[in-house]
Amino acid sequence: MKNTRIQTRSKSKTAATKRQHRSSMPALVQRGIAHRRFVEFPGMKGRTVEKIELFTMSDYHSLTVYFQDKTFLSLVLEPSLLLDSHFSDVSTGDERIVKRWPTVRSATSNDRAKDR
């Protein structure tokens, strides 16, 4: 059996270490058109895809793109709900918004992670 060395990190990272980790991640290339957003993952262009796998269960969904060079890109998908509400008066024939309420967004796993 092959001996392997496992390095462990303390769970309590310092703020500087967290900032350093975030800054070492490659930036996504984003472009937008009205009401649309496109995101490109640098470093993926030119790779040959071996297979694409969709994994789904009640509270976790992901797409994994496996490449022939034995690497993969994992995309975690999180559906959400957004409720935008307003009360209108149309008695004059034209809509007049009388009251607006704050937008309500569904909780996400990122929100739950922040609460821990």
Question: How does pLDDT run across 12-32, given as a tens digit for each residue?
Answer: 444 444 444 444 667 878 777
Both 73 and 31 in one domain: the answer is yes
The span from the CA of 67 to the CA of 12, in Å, is: 34
Highest mean pLDDT range out of 13-17, 76-80, 93-97?
93-97
Say if 38 falls within a structural domain: yes
Say if 20 falls within a structural domain: no
Q: Structural domain tally of the chain?
A: 2
Q: Supply the mean pLDDT for the chain.
A: 78
Range of the domain at 65: 27-77
